[in-house]
Structure 1
Amino acid sequence: MTVQDHYQADRAGFAEEWRRWRDDHERRLADPHGFLAVTSLRWLDAEPARFPDAPGAWSATADGVQVRLDEGEELTVDGVAVHGTYRFGILAERASVYAGAGDAVIEVAKRGGHHIVRPRHPDSALLAAHVPAPAYEPDPRWVRTGRYLPYGTPRAVTVGAAVEGLQHVYDAPGQVEFEVDGATHRLTAFNGSAPGSLLVLFTDATSGVTTYAANRTLAVGAPDAEGRVRLDFNRATNLPCAYTDLATCPLPPAENRLPVAVEAGEKIPHERLGAR
Protein backbone atom coordinates (compact mmCIF):
# COMPACT_ATOMS: atom_id res chain seq x y z
CA MET A 1 0.00 0.00 0.00
CA THR A 2 1.40 3.41 -0.98
CA VAL A 3 1.33 6.36 1.38
CA GLN A 4 -1.44 7.87 -0.74
CA ASP A 5 -3.49 4.68 -0.51
CA HIS A 6 -3.04 4.64 3.27
CA TYR A 7 -4.38 8.17 3.65
CA GLN A 8 -7.14 7.63 1.09
CA ALA A 9 -8.36 4.75 3.24
CA ASP A 10 -8.68 7.04 6.24
CA ARG A 11 -9.44 10.46 4.77
CA ALA A 12 -11.22 11.60 7.95
CA GLY A 13 -8.18 10.81 10.10
CA PHE A 14 -5.88 12.41 7.55
CA ALA A 15 -7.95 15.61 7.55
CA GLU A 16 -8.09 15.73 11.33
CA GLU A 17 -4.31 15.32 11.62
CA TRP A 18 -3.85 18.16 9.11
CA ARG A 19 -6.22 20.44 11.04
CA ARG A 20 -4.30 19.86 14.27
CA TRP A 21 -1.07 20.72 12.46
CA ARG A 22 -2.65 23.83 10.97
CA ASP A 23 -3.95 24.99 14.37
CA ASP A 24 -0.42 24.69 15.79
CA HIS A 25 0.98 26.56 12.79
CA GLU A 26 -1.50 29.41 13.28
CA ARG A 27 -0.73 29.66 16.99
CA ARG A 28 2.94 30.13 16.18
CA LEU A 29 2.15 32.69 13.50
CA ALA A 30 -0.01 34.71 15.91
CA ASP A 31 2.74 34.93 18.55
CA PRO A 32 2.63 38.44 20.09
CA HIS A 33 6.26 38.95 19.11
CA GLY A 34 6.19 37.04 15.81
CA PHE A 35 6.44 38.39 12.28
CA LEU A 36 2.92 39.78 12.30
CA ALA A 37 4.00 42.03 15.18
CA VAL A 38 6.82 43.68 13.18
CA THR A 39 6.17 47.42 12.85
CA SER A 40 9.18 48.51 10.77
CA LEU A 41 12.33 47.32 9.02
CA ARG A 42 15.32 49.61 9.61
CA TRP A 43 18.61 49.33 7.72
CA LEU A 44 21.52 50.49 9.83
CA ASP A 45 24.71 52.31 8.88
CA ALA A 46 27.44 54.18 10.73
CA GLU A 47 25.25 57.24 11.35
CA PRO A 48 23.20 56.80 14.57
CA ALA A 49 19.47 56.92 13.85
CA ARG A 50 16.38 57.04 16.04
CA PHE A 51 13.14 55.29 15.19
CA PRO A 52 9.66 55.99 16.59
CA ASP A 53 9.00 52.33 17.48
CA ALA A 54 12.30 51.56 19.30
CA PRO A 55 14.25 53.34 22.05
CA GLY A 56 17.79 54.58 21.47
CA ALA A 57 19.96 55.71 18.57
CA TRP A 58 21.08 52.75 16.45
CA SER A 59 24.13 52.32 14.23
CA ALA A 60 26.27 49.62 12.64
CA THR A 61 29.94 49.58 11.72
CA ALA A 62 32.57 46.93 11.07
CA ASP A 63 32.45 46.29 14.83
CA GLY A 64 28.75 45.38 14.71
CA VAL A 65 25.53 46.95 15.97
CA GLN A 66 25.33 49.33 18.88
CA VAL A 67 22.58 51.41 20.47
CA ARG A 68 22.97 54.60 22.52
CA LEU A 69 20.21 54.96 25.09
CA ASP A 70 19.40 58.38 26.53
CA GLU A 71 18.52 58.96 30.17
CA GLY A 72 15.19 57.33 30.91
CA GLU A 73 15.58 54.78 28.08
CA GLU A 74 16.17 51.09 28.76
CA LEU A 75 16.48 47.77 27.01
CA THR A 76 16.57 44.30 28.50
CA VAL A 77 19.10 41.86 27.06
CA ASP A 78 19.17 38.29 28.37
CA GLY A 79 17.04 39.42 31.31
CA VAL A 80 19.42 42.22 32.30
CA ALA A 81 18.49 45.91 32.04
CA VAL A 82 21.00 47.94 29.99
CA HIS A 83 21.48 51.70 29.79
CA GLY A 84 23.80 54.12 28.03
CA THR A 85 25.69 52.54 25.11
CA TYR A 86 25.21 48.84 24.46
CA ARG A 87 27.10 46.86 21.83
CA PHE A 88 25.50 43.79 20.29
CA GLY A 89 28.73 42.94 18.49
CA ILE A 90 29.19 41.27 15.14
CA LEU A 91 26.32 39.04 14.07
CA ALA A 92 26.57 36.07 11.74
CA GLU A 93 24.57 36.12 8.53
CA ARG A 94 20.89 35.19 9.21
CA ALA A 95 21.46 35.51 12.96
CA SER A 96 19.02 37.45 15.15
CA VAL A 97 19.25 38.62 18.74
CA TYR A 98 16.40 40.16 20.71
CA ALA A 99 16.14 42.94 23.27
CA GLY A 100 13.09 43.75 25.37
CA ALA A 101 11.62 47.26 25.34
CA GLY A 102 8.57 47.34 27.59
CA ASP A 103 6.02 45.00 26.04
CA ALA A 104 7.86 45.11 22.71
CA VAL A 105 10.82 43.13 21.43
CA ILE A 106 13.52 44.65 19.24
CA GLU A 107 15.09 42.22 16.78
CA VAL A 108 18.68 42.98 15.79
CA ALA A 109 19.76 40.92 12.81
CA LYS A 110 21.99 40.53 9.77
CA ARG A 111 20.44 39.84 6.39
CA GLY A 112 22.21 39.78 3.06
CA GLY A 113 25.29 41.30 4.65
CA HIS A 114 23.33 44.23 6.11
CA HIS A 115 22.50 44.94 9.75
CA ILE A 116 18.85 45.63 10.52
CA VAL A 117 16.59 46.51 13.42
CA ARG A 118 13.04 45.16 13.33
CA PRO A 119 10.80 46.16 16.27
CA ARG A 120 7.97 43.80 17.18
CA HIS A 121 4.97 45.21 19.03
CA PRO A 122 2.12 42.98 20.25
CA ASP A 123 -0.42 45.72 19.47
CA SER A 124 0.61 46.01 15.80
CA ALA A 125 -2.26 46.60 13.40
CA LEU A 126 -1.26 43.65 11.22
CA LEU A 127 -1.36 41.21 14.12
CA ALA A 128 -4.65 42.60 15.42
CA ALA A 129 -6.33 42.23 12.02
CA HIS A 130 -4.90 38.81 11.15
CA VAL A 131 -7.13 35.88 10.33
CA PRO A 132 -5.79 32.51 9.14
CA ALA A 133 -4.85 32.35 5.48
CA PRO A 134 -7.17 30.32 3.26
CA ALA A 135 -5.88 26.89 2.32
CA TYR A 136 -6.73 24.02 0.06
CA GLU A 137 -8.63 21.20 1.69
CA PRO A 138 -6.20 18.40 2.63
CA ASP A 139 -5.83 15.84 -0.13
CA PRO A 140 -3.82 12.59 0.19
CA ARG A 141 -2.81 12.93 -3.47
CA TRP A 142 -0.35 15.61 -2.42
CA VAL A 143 1.54 13.41 0.02
CA ARG A 144 4.39 12.20 -2.16
CA THR A 145 7.16 9.74 -1.38
CA GLY A 146 10.37 11.21 -2.71
CA ARG A 147 14.04 10.33 -2.87
CA TYR A 148 16.85 12.35 -1.35
CA LEU A 149 19.81 12.88 -3.68
CA PRO A 150 22.70 14.22 -1.57
CA TYR A 151 25.53 16.14 -3.13
CA GLY A 152 29.06 14.92 -2.48
CA THR A 153 29.63 18.16 -0.57
CA PRO A 154 27.08 20.91 0.16
CA ARG A 155 26.78 23.55 -2.54
CA ALA A 156 26.47 27.27 -1.90
CA VAL A 157 23.31 28.49 -3.63
CA THR A 158 22.61 32.20 -4.09
CA VAL A 159 18.96 33.21 -4.24
CA GLY A 160 17.10 36.48 -4.45
CA ALA A 161 15.02 38.00 -1.69
CA ALA A 162 11.65 39.65 -1.15
CA VAL A 163 13.59 42.91 -0.72
CA GLU A 164 14.79 44.16 -4.09
CA GLY A 165 18.58 44.07 -4.48
CA LEU A 166 19.13 41.72 -1.54
CA GLN A 167 20.57 38.22 -1.93
CA HIS A 168 20.85 35.23 0.38
CA VAL A 169 23.41 32.41 0.21
CA TYR A 170 22.46 29.00 1.60
CA ASP A 171 24.28 25.69 1.71
CA ALA A 172 22.27 23.07 -0.15
CA PRO A 173 23.05 19.49 0.96
CA GLY A 174 21.21 17.92 -1.99
CA GLN A 175 17.96 17.62 -3.92
CA VAL A 176 14.70 15.76 -3.46
CA GLU A 177 13.16 13.92 -6.38
CA PHE A 178 9.49 13.00 -6.68
CA GLU A 179 6.83 12.23 -9.25
CA VAL A 180 3.48 13.81 -10.07
CA ASP A 181 1.28 12.28 -12.77
CA GLY A 182 4.20 10.29 -14.20
CA ALA A 183 6.55 13.29 -14.47
CA THR A 184 9.71 13.46 -12.35
CA HIS A 185 10.66 16.70 -10.61
CA ARG A 186 13.70 17.70 -8.57
CA LEU A 187 13.89 20.43 -5.95
CA THR A 188 17.03 21.87 -4.41
CA ALA A 189 16.80 21.45 -0.64
CA PHE A 190 18.32 23.50 2.17
CA ASN A 191 18.93 22.41 5.75
CA GLY A 192 15.86 22.38 7.97
CA SER A 193 15.53 23.44 11.58
CA ALA A 194 15.90 19.92 13.04
CA PRO A 195 19.09 17.88 12.58
CA GLY A 196 18.98 16.02 9.27
CA SER A 197 15.74 17.66 8.17
CA LEU A 198 15.34 19.62 4.95
CA LEU A 199 13.57 22.76 3.77
CA VAL A 200 12.30 23.38 0.26
CA LEU A 201 11.35 26.75 -1.24
CA PHE A 202 9.22 26.52 -4.37
CA THR A 203 6.70 28.07 -6.71
CA ASP A 204 4.32 26.22 -9.01
CA ALA A 205 1.56 26.86 -11.54
CA THR A 206 -0.77 28.16 -8.82
CA SER A 207 1.69 30.89 -7.76
CA GLY A 208 0.22 34.32 -8.32
CA VAL A 209 -3.17 32.75 -9.05
CA THR A 210 -4.41 31.07 -5.88
CA THR A 211 -1.14 30.95 -3.92
CA TYR A 212 1.39 33.65 -3.06
CA ALA A 213 3.42 34.57 -6.13
CA ALA A 214 6.94 34.81 -4.69
CA ASN A 215 7.37 31.59 -2.75
CA ARG A 216 6.05 28.91 -0.48
CA THR A 217 8.00 26.65 1.85
CA LEU A 218 7.79 22.99 2.76
CA ALA A 219 9.47 21.32 5.72
CA VAL A 220 10.72 17.80 4.95
CA GLY A 221 11.72 15.30 7.60
CA ALA A 222 15.13 13.60 7.60
CA PRO A 223 15.54 10.90 4.92
CA ASP A 224 15.19 7.33 6.09
CA ALA A 225 17.95 4.72 5.80
CA GLU A 226 17.07 4.17 2.13
CA GLY A 227 17.01 7.87 1.29
CA ARG A 228 13.24 8.16 1.12
CA VAL A 229 11.53 11.38 2.16
CA ARG A 230 7.91 12.33 2.61
CA LEU A 231 6.74 15.51 0.92
CA ASP A 232 3.34 16.54 2.25
CA PHE A 233 2.42 19.55 0.13
CA ASN A 234 -0.76 19.93 2.19
CA ARG A 235 1.61 21.48 4.73
CA ALA A 236 3.16 23.99 2.32
CA THR A 237 3.11 27.35 4.08
CA ASN A 238 3.57 31.01 3.33
CA LEU A 239 6.72 32.80 4.39
CA PRO A 240 6.52 36.08 6.34
CA CYS A 241 6.82 38.14 3.13
CA ALA A 242 3.41 36.82 2.12
CA TYR A 243 1.95 38.85 5.00
CA THR A 244 4.19 41.89 5.29
CA ASP A 245 6.65 43.97 3.27
CA LEU A 246 8.87 44.12 6.37
CA ALA A 247 10.40 40.70 5.70
CA THR A 248 13.56 39.72 3.81
CA CYS A 249 12.47 36.20 2.81
CA PRO A 250 14.50 34.22 0.27
CA LEU A 251 13.11 33.37 -3.15
CA PRO A 252 13.29 29.83 -4.54
CA PRO A 253 16.18 28.76 -6.75
CA ALA A 254 15.26 28.80 -10.44
CA GLU A 255 15.08 24.99 -10.58
CA ASN A 256 12.42 24.98 -7.83
CA ARG A 257 9.78 26.60 -10.03
CA LEU A 258 7.52 23.63 -10.63
CA PRO A 259 5.54 23.53 -13.90
CA VAL A 260 2.65 21.64 -12.25
CA ALA A 261 -0.18 23.12 -10.21
CA VAL A 262 0.33 22.09 -6.59
CA GLU A 263 -3.23 22.57 -5.40
CA ALA A 264 -2.38 21.99 -1.77
CA GLY A 265 -1.28 24.01 1.23
CA GLU A 266 -1.77 27.65 2.07
CA LYS A 267 -3.19 30.13 -0.40
CA ILE A 268 -2.73 33.89 -0.73
CA PRO A 269 -3.23 35.44 2.73
CA HIS A 270 -6.14 37.79 3.34
CA GLU A 271 -3.57 40.51 3.99
CA ARG A 272 -2.55 40.34 0.30
CA LEU A 273 -5.87 39.61 -1.39
CA GLY A 274 -6.78 43.29 -1.60
CA ALA A 275 -3.46 44.08 -3.27
CA ARG A 276 -3.86 41.63 -6.16
Structure 2
Amino acid sequence: MTVPQTDPETFAKEWEAWHREKEEQLAGPHGFLAITSLRWLGSEPERFEDAPGAWSTSAEGVVVELADGEELTVDGVTVTGRHSFGVIAERDSLYPAFGDAVIEVAKRGGHDIVRPRHPENALRTAFTGTPAYAPAPQWVRPGRFLPFEEPRPVTVGAAVEGLEHVYDSPGQVEFEVDGETYRLTTFNGKRPGSLMALFTDRTSGVTTYAANRSVQIGAPDEQGAVRIDFNRAANLPCAYTDLATCPLPPGENRLPVAVEAGERIPLERGGPAA
Protein backbone atom coordinates (compact mmCIF):
# COMPACT_ATOMS: atom_id res chain seq x y z
CA MET A 1 0.00 0.00 0.00
CA THR A 2 1.31 3.43 -0.89
CA VAL A 3 0.32 6.47 1.13
CA PRO A 4 -1.51 9.07 -1.00
CA GLN A 5 0.37 12.34 -1.39
CA THR A 6 -1.36 15.17 0.45
CA ASP A 7 -0.80 18.88 0.17
CA PRO A 8 1.21 19.88 3.30
CA GLU A 9 -1.21 22.66 4.18
CA THR A 10 -4.22 20.38 3.86
CA PHE A 11 -2.41 17.66 5.82
CA ALA A 12 -1.70 20.09 8.68
CA LYS A 13 -5.27 21.41 8.72
CA GLU A 14 -6.72 17.90 8.86
CA TRP A 15 -4.41 17.03 11.74
CA GLU A 16 -5.32 20.23 13.59
CA ALA A 17 -9.03 19.45 13.21
CA TRP A 18 -8.45 15.94 14.63
CA HIS A 19 -6.44 17.29 17.54
CA ARG A 20 -8.96 20.03 18.31
CA GLU A 21 -11.83 17.53 18.39
CA LYS A 22 -9.90 15.23 20.73
CA GLU A 23 -9.07 18.13 23.07
CA GLU A 24 -12.71 19.22 23.13
CA GLN A 25 -13.84 15.74 24.16
CA LEU A 26 -11.15 15.46 26.83
CA ALA A 27 -11.91 18.87 28.33
CA GLY A 28 -15.68 18.88 27.78
CA PRO A 29 -17.96 19.65 30.74
CA HIS A 30 -18.14 15.93 31.56
CA GLY A 31 -14.91 14.76 29.91
CA PHE A 32 -12.10 12.92 31.67
CA LEU A 33 -10.62 16.12 33.08
CA ALA A 34 -13.89 16.69 34.97
CA ILE A 35 -13.49 13.49 37.04
CA THR A 36 -13.13 14.26 40.75
CA SER A 37 -12.69 10.74 42.17
CA LEU A 38 -12.52 7.05 41.33
CA ARG A 39 -14.54 4.83 43.67
CA TRP A 40 -14.35 1.04 43.78
CA LEU A 41 -17.72 -0.32 44.90
CA GLY A 42 -18.16 -3.05 47.48
CA SER A 43 -21.06 -4.93 49.03
CA GLU A 44 -21.59 -2.36 51.81
CA PRO A 45 -23.32 0.91 50.83
CA GLU A 46 -20.87 3.82 50.89
CA ARG A 47 -21.38 7.55 50.55
CA PHE A 48 -18.97 9.84 48.70
CA GLU A 49 -18.46 13.56 49.13
CA ASP A 50 -18.77 14.34 45.41
CA ALA A 51 -21.92 12.34 44.62
CA PRO A 52 -25.37 11.86 46.13
CA GLY A 53 -26.50 8.53 47.55
CA ALA A 54 -24.94 5.45 49.09
CA TRP A 55 -23.44 3.11 46.51
CA SER A 56 -22.87 -0.65 46.51
CA THR A 57 -22.60 -3.63 44.20
CA SER A 58 -23.55 -7.31 44.29
CA ALA A 59 -24.35 -10.14 41.89
CA GLU A 60 -27.48 -8.17 40.96
CA GLY A 61 -25.43 -5.17 39.89
CA VAL A 62 -24.89 -1.58 41.06
CA VAL A 63 -27.37 0.02 43.46
CA VAL A 64 -27.65 3.55 44.82
CA GLU A 65 -29.76 4.46 47.84
CA LEU A 66 -30.73 8.12 47.72
CA ALA A 67 -31.63 9.93 50.93
CA ASP A 68 -34.53 12.36 51.30
CA GLY A 69 -33.87 15.39 49.13
CA GLU A 70 -31.43 13.54 46.87
CA GLU A 71 -32.19 12.62 43.28
CA LEU A 72 -30.57 11.54 40.04
CA THR A 73 -31.69 11.83 36.45
CA VAL A 74 -31.41 8.51 34.62
CA ASP A 75 -32.28 8.45 30.91
CA GLY A 76 -34.22 11.67 31.36
CA VAL A 77 -36.25 10.33 34.30
CA THR A 78 -35.87 11.62 37.88
CA VAL A 79 -35.22 8.82 40.37
CA THR A 80 -35.30 8.92 44.16
CA GLY A 81 -34.93 6.36 46.91
CA ARG A 82 -33.37 3.04 45.91
CA HIS A 83 -32.35 2.59 42.28
CA SER A 84 -30.72 -0.43 40.64
CA PHE A 85 -28.56 0.04 37.56
CA GLY A 86 -28.38 -3.72 37.06
CA VAL A 87 -25.31 -5.63 35.92
CA ILE A 88 -23.02 -3.45 33.83
CA ALA A 89 -20.99 -5.08 31.07
CA GLU A 90 -17.21 -4.81 30.99
CA ARG A 91 -16.11 -1.45 29.52
CA ASP A 92 -19.69 -0.11 29.49
CA SER A 93 -20.59 3.15 31.25
CA LEU A 94 -23.82 4.83 32.37
CA TYR A 95 -24.06 8.55 33.15
CA PRO A 96 -26.81 9.53 35.60
CA ALA A 97 -26.90 13.29 36.18
CA PHE A 98 -27.33 15.55 39.20
CA GLY A 99 -27.18 19.32 38.93
CA ASP A 100 -24.53 20.22 36.37
CA ALA A 101 -22.55 17.04 37.11
CA VAL A 102 -22.80 13.40 36.08
CA ILE A 103 -21.70 10.17 37.72
CA GLU A 104 -20.05 7.59 35.50
CA VAL A 105 -21.22 4.15 36.64
CA ALA A 106 -19.03 1.57 34.94
CA LYS A 107 -17.21 -1.75 35.01
CA ARG A 108 -13.46 -1.88 34.50
CA GLY A 109 -11.31 -4.98 34.87
CA GLY A 110 -14.24 -6.85 36.39
CA HIS A 111 -14.84 -4.21 39.08
CA ASP A 112 -17.82 -1.88 39.39
CA ILE A 113 -16.82 1.75 39.82
CA VAL A 114 -18.28 5.22 40.03
CA ARG A 115 -16.49 8.35 38.82
CA PRO A 116 -18.24 11.67 39.45
CA ARG A 117 -17.60 14.31 36.77
CA HIS A 118 -17.91 17.96 37.79
CA PRO A 119 -17.44 20.75 35.20
CA GLU A 120 -15.78 23.00 37.80
CA ASN A 121 -13.00 20.48 38.54
CA ALA A 122 -9.69 22.36 38.63
CA LEU A 123 -7.94 19.90 36.31
CA ARG A 124 -10.50 20.77 33.64
CA THR A 125 -10.74 24.53 34.18
CA ALA A 126 -6.93 24.92 34.16
CA PHE A 127 -6.43 22.84 31.00
CA THR A 128 -4.68 24.73 28.20
CA GLY A 129 -4.04 21.96 25.68
CA THR A 130 -1.78 19.01 24.90
CA PRO A 131 1.65 19.56 23.31
CA ALA A 132 2.37 17.53 20.20
CA TYR A 133 4.93 17.06 17.48
CA ALA A 134 4.28 19.07 14.34
CA PRO A 135 2.38 16.86 11.87
CA ALA A 136 4.80 15.22 9.42
CA PRO A 137 3.67 13.21 6.36
CA GLN A 138 6.62 10.82 6.69
CA TRP A 139 5.00 9.40 9.84
CA VAL A 140 2.04 8.14 7.82
CA ARG A 141 3.25 4.58 7.28
CA PRO A 142 1.80 2.03 4.86
CA GLY A 143 1.29 -1.34 6.49
CA ARG A 144 -0.24 -4.77 6.19
CA PHE A 145 -2.80 -6.46 8.42
CA LEU A 146 -1.88 -10.01 9.44
CA PRO A 147 -5.08 -11.59 10.78
CA PHE A 148 -5.12 -14.43 13.26
CA GLU A 149 -7.16 -17.51 12.31
CA GLU A 150 -9.40 -16.66 15.26
CA PRO A 151 -9.38 -13.56 17.50
CA ARG A 152 -7.05 -14.12 20.46
CA PRO A 153 -7.79 -12.90 23.99
CA VAL A 154 -4.89 -10.72 25.14
CA THR A 155 -4.47 -9.77 28.80
CA VAL A 156 -2.78 -6.44 29.48
CA GLY A 157 -2.00 -4.45 32.60
CA ALA A 158 -3.59 -1.16 33.55
CA ALA A 159 -2.68 2.27 34.83
CA VAL A 160 -4.16 1.12 38.16
CA GLU A 161 -1.78 -1.30 39.85
CA GLY A 162 -3.15 -4.83 40.09
CA LEU A 163 -5.91 -4.27 37.51
CA GLU A 164 -5.99 -6.20 34.23
CA HIS A 165 -7.91 -5.81 30.99
CA VAL A 166 -8.68 -8.53 28.45
CA TYR A 167 -9.22 -7.61 24.80
CA ASP A 168 -9.77 -9.77 21.75
CA SER A 169 -7.06 -9.21 19.15
CA PRO A 170 -8.01 -9.83 15.49
CA GLY A 171 -4.37 -9.76 14.38
CA GLN A 172 -1.24 -7.69 13.94
CA VAL A 173 -0.20 -4.85 11.64
CA GLU A 174 3.24 -4.88 10.02
CA PHE A 175 5.02 -1.73 8.85
CA GLU A 176 8.49 -0.36 8.18
CA VAL A 177 10.48 2.54 9.58
CA ASP A 178 13.89 3.32 8.05
CA GLY A 179 14.03 -0.07 6.38
CA GLU A 180 13.26 -2.04 9.56
CA THR A 181 10.07 -4.07 9.91
CA TYR A 182 7.93 -3.86 13.05
CA ARG A 183 4.67 -5.42 14.17
CA LEU A 184 1.96 -4.25 16.55
CA THR A 185 -0.74 -6.44 18.08
CA THR A 186 -4.07 -4.71 17.46
CA PHE A 187 -7.49 -4.59 19.10
CA ASN A 188 -10.82 -3.56 17.63
CA GLY A 189 -11.05 0.15 16.84
CA LYS A 190 -13.81 2.68 17.31
CA ARG A 191 -15.50 1.95 13.97
CA PRO A 192 -16.61 -1.43 12.56
CA GLY A 193 -13.67 -3.21 10.96
CA SER A 194 -11.14 -0.66 12.19
CA LEU A 195 -8.18 -1.40 14.45
CA MET A 196 -6.45 0.17 17.43
CA ALA A 197 -2.91 -0.34 18.70
CA LEU A 198 -1.51 0.53 22.12
CA PHE A 199 2.24 1.07 22.07
CA THR A 200 5.32 2.62 23.58
CA ASP A 201 8.54 3.55 21.78
CA ARG A 202 11.90 5.14 22.48
CA THR A 203 10.30 8.54 23.04
CA SER A 204 8.17 7.12 25.90
CA GLY A 205 9.12 8.73 29.18
CA VAL A 206 11.35 11.21 27.33
CA THR A 207 9.11 13.39 25.18
CA THR A 208 5.94 11.28 25.17
CA TYR A 209 3.91 9.79 28.01
CA ALA A 210 5.74 6.84 29.52
CA ALA A 211 2.93 4.32 29.96
CA ASN A 212 1.18 4.22 26.61
CA ARG A 213 -0.17 5.92 23.52
CA SER A 214 -2.80 4.67 21.10
CA VAL A 215 -3.26 4.92 17.36
CA GLN A 216 -6.49 4.26 15.46
CA ILE A 217 -6.10 2.42 12.14
CA GLY A 218 -8.73 2.30 9.43
CA ALA A 219 -10.18 -1.02 8.27
CA PRO A 220 -7.82 -3.04 6.06
CA ASP A 221 -8.66 -3.20 2.37
CA GLU A 222 -9.29 -6.47 0.52
CA GLN A 223 -5.54 -7.10 0.27
CA GLY A 224 -5.00 -6.35 3.96
CA ALA A 225 -3.32 -3.00 3.32
CA VAL A 226 -3.61 -0.39 6.10
CA ARG A 227 -2.47 3.17 6.70
CA ILE A 228 -0.94 3.95 10.10
CA ASP A 229 -0.83 7.66 10.87
CA PHE A 230 1.48 8.05 13.86
CA ASN A 231 0.81 11.80 13.80
CA ARG A 232 -2.43 10.79 15.49
CA ALA A 233 -0.74 8.78 18.21
CA ALA A 234 -2.86 9.90 21.12
CA ASN A 235 -2.53 10.08 24.86
CA LEU A 236 -4.98 8.03 26.90
CA PRO A 237 -6.75 9.64 29.89
CA CYS A 238 -4.18 8.25 32.33
CA ALA A 239 -1.67 10.67 30.79
CA TYR A 240 -3.62 13.47 32.52
CA THR A 241 -5.15 11.98 35.67
CA ASP A 242 -4.56 9.15 38.13
CA LEU A 243 -8.33 8.56 38.15
CA ALA A 244 -8.19 6.55 34.90
CA THR A 245 -7.98 2.78 34.44
CA CYS A 246 -6.33 2.81 31.00
CA PRO A 247 -4.87 -0.39 29.53
CA LEU A 248 -1.15 -0.77 28.99
CA PRO A 249 0.34 -2.06 25.73
CA PRO A 250 1.06 -5.76 25.25
CA GLY A 251 4.73 -6.54 25.74
CA GLU A 252 5.33 -7.02 22.03
CA ASN A 253 4.08 -3.47 21.32
CA ARG A 254 7.10 -1.78 22.89
CA LEU A 255 8.75 -0.48 19.73
CA PRO A 256 12.58 -0.19 19.67
CA VAL A 257 12.36 2.94 17.53
CA ALA A 258 11.64 6.60 18.33
CA VAL A 259 8.20 7.55 16.98
CA GLU A 260 8.66 11.32 16.99
CA ALA A 261 5.06 12.03 16.06
CA GLY A 262 1.74 12.55 17.77
CA GLU A 263 0.91 13.80 21.24
CA ARG A 264 3.61 14.49 23.80
CA ILE A 265 3.77 14.51 27.61
CA PRO A 266 0.90 16.68 28.89
CA LEU A 267 1.60 19.81 30.90
CA GLU A 268 -0.25 18.10 33.77
CA ARG A 269 2.58 15.51 33.86
CA GLY A 270 5.43 17.97 33.47
CA GLY A 271 5.42 18.33 29.70
CA PRO A 272 6.10 21.60 27.84
CA ALA A 273 3.37 24.17 27.34
CA ALA A 274 1.20 23.44 24.30
TM range (shorter): over 0.9
Partner of 1:25: 22
Q: Spell out, residue by residue over 1:8-39, the C-alpha distance to the aligned partner (whole angstroms, 9 max, x if none).
A: xx222211221122112212222110101000
Which residues of 2 match residues 47-86 of structure 1 at below 5 A?
47-86=44-83
1:120 maps to which residue? 117
Unaligned residue ranges in structure 1 (runs of 5+): none
1:40-91 per-position Cα deviation (integer Å, ceiling 9, x unaligned): 0000000110001000000011111100000000001000000000001111
| Structure 2 length-normalised TM | 0.97
Distance 2:244 2:20 in 1: 23
Query: Could you tell me which residue of structure 2 aligns to residue 178 of structure 1?
Result: 175
List 4+ stretches of structure 1 deviating above 6 A. none
Give 1:26-175 correspondences, 5 Å limit: 26-175=23-172
Q: Gapped runs of 5+ residues in structure 2?
A: none
1:221 maps to 2:214: no
Looking at structure 1, the residues matched to 109 and 3 of structure 2 have their Cα atoms a distance apart, in angstroms, of 39
Structural RMSD (CA): 1.1
> 1:220-275 CA deviation, whole Å, 9 max, x = no partner?
1111111111100001110000000000000000000000000000000000007x
Determine if contact 2:23/2:130 at 8 Å carries over to the other structure.
no
CA shift at 1:2, angstroms? 4.1
Structure 2 counterpart of 1:233, from 230, 233, 245: 230
1:167-198 deviations in Å (ceiling 9; x for gaps):
00000011100000111101000001110011
Alignment partner, residue 239 of structure 2 = 242
Percent of matched pairs sharing the same residue: 70
SS at match of 2:96: strand
Q: Distance in 2 between matches of 1:258 and 1:83?
A: 51
CA contact (8 A) 2:200 2:254 kept: yes
Q: Distance in 2 between matches of 1:145 and 1:253?
A: 22
What amino acid sits opposite 1:3 in the alignment?
A: V
Give the number of equivalent residue pairs.
Answer: 271
> Contact 2:94–2:106 (CA<8 Å) still a contact in 1?
yes
**Structure 2 residue 11 is matched with structure 1 residue 14:** yes
Query: For each residue in 1:194-229, what CA deviation from the matched residue of structure 2 results, as whole angstroms up to 9, or x when unmatched?
Result: 100111100000000000000000011111111111
Q: Which deviates more, 200-209 or 20-29?
A: 20-29
Q: Aligned pair 1:262/2:236, yes or no? A: no
Could you tell me how far apart the structure 1 residues matched to 2:100 and 2:12 are? 37
